Every structure is written in structure tokens, then in C-alpha cells.
Amino acid sequence: MVKGFSDNEVKNDAAIKESKKEKKGLAAFLKGKKFTYTLPGKKQINIFGSIVLGLNLILILLVILYLKNQEFHDFVFNVGR
């Protein structure tokens, strides 16, 4: 048997197309539904940006407090046990 491409075409395309069309589970449930994505507005972007920046600032302050204050360091170490 020779490896590679042959001049004879294989007629298995129908079985392959049928298996691709079958959708199961969540895909079958969502097949008929149409979802559209809308970009967030300027107000929503500002709110999420403020939340992210605020949480990052709190994290930085806690890390500095952890490194500089021995009592806070011991508190975090004991609570983590």
C-alpha cells in the first residue's frame, strides 16, 4: 500500500458532514438562540475601572503593611494556619 495522496476520491464526506451537524448538550440547546454582544457604555467602563484600581490600591497597601508592620505580619501568619 502506497502512502500519500491517491487519484481516487474517498466518498465518506456524507458521514463526516452528518457528524459535524449533530450538536449535543448545551450546543443543541443554544442552537436556535441568538446572542448579541454590546459594548459597555462609558459609565460602566468608568465604574469597573474605578473598582479595579481601588482594589489594586488596597492590595498594594496591604502588602506594604504586611512587610513593614510586624504585628500585622504575625496576624496574617496566624490567621493563615
Dump pLDDT digits (tens) for 48-80: 999 999 999 999 999 999 999 999 999 999 998
The answer to whether 66 touches 72, Cβ cutoff 8 Å, is yes
Q: Helix or strand or coil: residue 60?
A: helix
**pLDDT-based confidence at residue 11 (cuts at 50, 70, 90):** low
Higher confidence at residue 14 or residue 30? 30
Please, what's the b/e burial string for 53-69 (b: 16 or more CB within 10 A of its CB; e: otherwise)? eeeeeeeeeeeeeeeee
Share of the chain above pLDDT 90, in %: 48
Provide the whole-model pTM.
Answer: 0.52
pLDDT value, residue 28: 73
